[in-house]
Structure 1
Amino acid sequence: MESKTKNVKTWAQIDAMARKGFRGVGLQPGADAVRELKDGWFNAAYAVRLVDGREAVLKIAPAAQAQVMRYERNIMLTEVAIMRLVRQNAGIPVPEIYFCDDARDVCDSSYFFMEKIEGQNLDHVHEAMSPDQKAAIDREIGAIIREINTFKGSFFGYDGNPELRADSWKAAFLKIMDSVFADAADKSVVFDYGYDALRAAVEKHAEALDEVTQPCLVHWDAWKPNFFVEQGRVKGIIDFERALWAEPLMEAQFRSLCWEGVTQAMLGYGKTEFTANEMRRSWLYLLHLALVMHVECYFRHYGSDEVLNKSRELIASAMAWLQAN
């Protein structure tokens, strides 16, 4: 399921980027030195093999003229900065950034090369795992997410987008939600609920956000395709581009709290009890995710309605709870 934001490049263009990043060392001859990685839905990504035998992953941001949502502005540079930050913690298996370039002289957008993680994408092998294997991986993921959340910030919101920041979490979250509604209005997005009803549901529970006073680093996009596993252990976590300074309950590992209860990932994280206000916030965060998923379909023009239909289901679930409680 491709999207129209991907900035796909030729072998020659990628070779030029490699030569700049690796000080004159280019790609091995032949098209098989470049393999497009198609799991991502936003950036273009390639596994590349250099002439000296080294392997790396190249990630290329959408071209400058590509339409993206407001919160997606500058997210590649955010990703690089956050990945370099979290590598300070040995408990977070994040790949090394080899080179990042925003000069736009050999490429029309930002790009970077990073370490290639050994192992298999969790999304590809999860179904074949035994229940015990799945539980062990989920607990390890929960522990990794807890380590990510130990990094503390000085503001709430997005690292690369000053317009979506604030000193309080409530103010930042409301700005973030307003930006999603603005993106939706730009594209004439029609939801199953009116804009006023969606905003009213957020405002009804916004007071619960006041309890959050410490900005923590939140990956936000830590779902199965962003983990790599090998021999029953997590080998790496990627895609920090959507990271923000927020409340840990925004993490993907807590979303299933709304319909599944306490999971193995929560056990691994070490949080299994939730207050009434934490539940309110969890439903707000689910609504935010669902609205983002819905609106991004109008920017990326996917080839199927899979994401659109799933977002409608999640919006309906979140609105039912927020309106009833």
Structure 2
Amino acid sequence: MAGRAGRRARAGGQGRPAGGGAPAAVGQATVREQLGAAVGGLPRLTGPHFGYPGERPAGADWPTAYGAIIAALLADAADRAVPLPPGIGTLAARHHAALAMVTRPALLHFDLWDGNVQAADGRLTGLVDGERFLWGDPLLDLVSPALFRRIEDEPGNPFLRGYTAATGLELDDAARTRLGLCRVHLYVLMPAEGPSRGIPVGGARHDYLTGLLEAELRDL
């Protein structure tokens, strides 16, 4: 994330990107299940606060940090003249109770699309590009592995199977609300940072992300 909400860099690793590096690729089932189990272990590590390190958005609790992150992204979008649907800035207050269920700042990778998942010989070998890391709701790491989809609607998803086995996740109504809020985080970030990465405002990509955002806002 460029701008107020974060920075991005590239790291190296062994193996090749799962799915050939294509964001929409599901990847090999065994690797995906191993990935789910590995990602389920990350939240066991606890950070010093909620949110990002340094001077980026953070807070003493997850509702505060989430609200600060969204506010920073909306400010970035406004600075870059990126139009977004209304109502995003009120989510932290409206869903305070669901966000407050997160009581420990868990370590999150937050960029687990297939290009950042290394695999070789049918097994997971590593995760790369951790520059987006933050501390917060463990469910945030269920968003990028199912990019542009809702992982909770894919019970046979091998990633979800591995993650559930490692964590005992129960996808109740509160968890589904938190997942929706996590997707809003990502789907606001992507258009907001686009101009800083040379992606022009408007066009099919922006319209697609806006549609995803509007769907999440309706359901929230």
TM category (shorter chain) comes to 0.7 to 0.9
Q: In 1, distance between residues paired with 2:195 and 2:209?
A: 12
**2-structure distance, mates of 1:262, 1:306:** 30
Aligned-pair CA distance for 1:305: 4.5
Provide structure 1 residue ranges, at least 5 long, that are not aligned to the other structure: 1-41, 43-67, 80-113
Matched, 1:314 2:209: no
1:187 corresponds to which residue?
A: 80
Distance 1:242 1:307, change over 3 A: farther
Contact 1:253 1:266 in 2 (8 A): no
Match of residue 286 from structure 1: 183
Secondary structure at 1:200's aligned position in 2?
helix
Q: CA RMSD in A?
A: 2.8
- Report deviation, 1:123: 3.2
Q: CA deviation at 1:306?
A: 5.7
Structure 1 residue 294: Cα displacement: 1.3
Change (3 A) 1:293 1:152: same
SS state at 1:188 partner:
coil
Deviation at 1:165, TM superposition (A): 1.5
SS at match of 1:211: coil
> Partner of 1:120 in structure 2?
16
Instruction: Name which of 109, 124, 141 aligns with 1:234.
Output: 124
Corresponding residue for residue 65 of structure 2:
172
Q: How far apart are 1:185 and its partner, in Å?
A: 1.4
The structure 2 residue matched to 1:135, chosen from 19, 29, 33, is 29
Instruction: Please state whether the residue corresponding to 1:236 is helix, strand or coil.
Output: strand
Equivalent position of 2:102 in the other structure: 212
TM alignment of 1:150-161, pairs within 5 A: 150-161=44-55
- What is the alpha-carbon distance in structure 1 between the residues aligned to residue 121 and residue 204 of structure 2? 31
Structure 2: where are the runs of 5+ without partners? none
Residue pair 2:21, 2:115 contacting (<8 A) in 1 also: no
Per the normalisation by structure 2, the TM-score is 0.83
Which amino acid counterpart does residue 178 of structure 2 have in structure 1? Answer: R
Compared CA separation, residues 262 and 319, structure 1 to 2 (3 A): farther
The one-letter code sitting in structure 2 at the alignment partner of 1:286 is R
Partner-residue secondary structure (3-state), 1:72:
coil
User: Which residue number in structure 1 is paired with residue 160 of structure 2?
Assistant: 266
Instruction: Report which of the two structures shows the higher radius of gyration computed on alpha carbons.
Output: 1
Q: Is the 8 A contact 2:3 2:76 kept in 1?
A: yes
Residue of structure 1 equivalent to 2:139: 249
Give the drift of 1:253.
Answer: 4.0
Residues in 2 aligned to 1:237 and 1:306: alpha-carbon distance in whole angstroms? 30
Q: Which has the higher contact order (CA 8 A, sep 6+)?
A: 2
**AA aligned opposite 2:179:** S
Deviations 1:73-124 (A, max 9, x none): 5x55xx9xxxxxxxxxxxxxxxxxxxxxxxxxxxxxxxxxx6x534221131
* CA deviation map 1:262-312 (0-9, x unaligned): 621121112452222111111011111101111112222227956424322
Distance 2:177 2:50 in 1: 19
Bigger strand share: 1
Q: How many positions carry a matched residue from both structures? A: 211
- Is the 8 Å Cα contact of residues 62 and 100 (structure 2) preserved in structure 1? yes
Tell whether the 8 Å contact from 1:152 to 1:214 is kept in structure 2 after alignment. yes
